[in-house]
Amino acid sequence: MEIVVVGRKTEVAPRFRRHVEEKLSKVTQLAPYAQRVDVEVSHEPNPRQAASSERIELTVRDRGPVIRAEASASDQYAALDVATTKLLERLRRSHDRRKAKSARRDQRAMPFPASPIDPVPAETVDLPNERVIAPDEVDVAVESQLGDSPVVVRQKLHRTAPMSVEDAIDEMELAGHPFYLFVEAESHQPAVVYHRHGWTYGVIRLDAEATSSEVEAS
């Protein structure tokens, strides 16, 4: 398994790289088919955010869904510890789900089909601030500023495949996000599943056909 460590607006010391490799060595125990783990290290220079100035984002590239975790702390080592704990827990949950659903999943495709691994980890591209430009490369983050305002919009283009609401909830929990955008397999409509409270979830669907008809009419 390959471990790729990149720094975003910060330098990554060789000692910390070695520590990352040691911490993530347990990933193969829960994800034996994992091909790569991307580790993004970033630093927030604002002194008011010193308690969370170091941020670690971990992304496991496996045959199935992408599993990720992130954490922030006052130093890189503490942030890595928290992020690794979250990641291993999500890998365990993913492993348990695969075992519980093996009978049903044998008859249908994986939520995310296997895809070639990019030769380089995801990176951030800073663009001119005249307008928000949509990304055209998979897993490459694009940042653009809204005119002269301090608002910065960060976008990513992800590879996906139609899935059920149940699978979308699983993907959302594995990614550690409060919501998840997907294309529903039955209706082929874009939708968002989100966490409400406890074990309650919500789904928002877009009537894409109605939207496209309105655009054509205008």
pLDDT single digits (tens) 87-105: 998 888 877 776 766 655 4
Report the pLDDT value the prediction gives residue 124, as an integer from 0 to 100: 52
Give the pLDDT confidence score for residue 66 in this predicted structure: 81
Better pLDDT: 182 or 115: 182
| pLDDT band with cut points at 50, 70 and 90 for residue 144 | confident
CA–CA distance, 45 with 120 (Å, rounded to integer): 26
Distance between CA atoms of residues 206 and 77, nearest Å? 42
pLDDT at position 23 is: 92
Contact 189, 208 (CB under 8 A): yes
CATH 3.30.160.100 correct for 2-108? yes
Residue 3 has pLDDT above 50, yes or no: yes
* Region 5-28 average pLDDT: 91
Structure confidence by residue, pLDDT tens digits, 193-207: 998 877 788 999 888
Taking the alpha carbons of 64, 116, 30, 52 in that order, is the dihedral positive or negative? negative
Instruction: Name the nearest CA neighbour of 124 among 4, 9, 5, 2.
Output: 9
pLDDT at 114 over 50: no
Report pLDDT for 116: 44
- The domains of the chain are located at 2-108, 158-205
Could you tell me what percent of the chain has a pLDDT over 70? 78
Amino acid at 151: V
Give the mean model confidence (pLDDT) for residues 164-181: 84
- Strand, coil or helix: what is 152? strand
> How far are the Cα atoms of 34, 67, 73, 119 from residue 23, in angstroms, in the given order?
15, 16, 17, 23
What pLDDT, on the 0 to 100 scale, is given for residue 199?
77
Indicate the fold that domain 158-205 takes in CATH. SHC Adaptor Protein (3.30.505)
Confidence (pTM) = 0.55
